[in-house]
Amino acid sequence: MTQSVFERLVLTLGVLFALAFAIIVVPPLWASGDIFGAFAAGFVNPYSSGYSLDVIICALILTVWILYERQARGIRHGWIAIPLCIVPGVATGFAVYLILRSRQIERDQSVV
């Protein structure tokens, strides 16, 4: 798989998730205005709690990875993915970070 195909696929998946989030989550959230209630709804049973906890931990792991690579590899602008983990979600934040990272690594290798 070439880098451009990789980036297009990752970007497409990230955008599709953001669109699904906007269609599925935003209208009821807008209608209720209850952000805490919307968050708590992810923990209404053991199954949804498991999925919600997985997403929260994945967001934290991605944040640690972004902060680590900022210093270890000098990845710039990765911080943009951290707020994207909150809204719309980890899928979009992760996609954006992978693309930023991929492009910077490609630039750095072409300079050497």
Percent over 70 (pLDDT), the chain: 99
Cβ burial 20-48 (10 Å sphere, 16+ → b, else e): ebeeeeeeebeeeeeeeeeeeeeeeeeee
> What pTM does this model have?
0.89
Confidence of residue 100 (pLDDT cuts 50, 70, 90): very high
Neighbours of 5 (CB within 10 A): 9
Q: What is the mean pLDDT of residues 47-70?
A: 97
Give the type of residue at 100.
Answer: L
- Taking only the tens place, the pLDDT of each residue in 36-52 is 999 999 999 999 999 99
CA distance 42 to 94: 20
Domain ranges (residues) in the chain: 3-111
Q: What is the mean pLDDT of residues 100-105?
A: 94
Q: What is the C-alpha to C-alpha distance for residues 110 and 105, in angstroms, rounded to an integer?
A: 9
Predicted local confidence at residue 71, as pLDDT: 95
Token pair 């070439």: residue: 2
Residue 102's Cβ-count burial label (10 Å; 0-12, 13-18, 19+) is: middle
The residue type found at 75 is: I
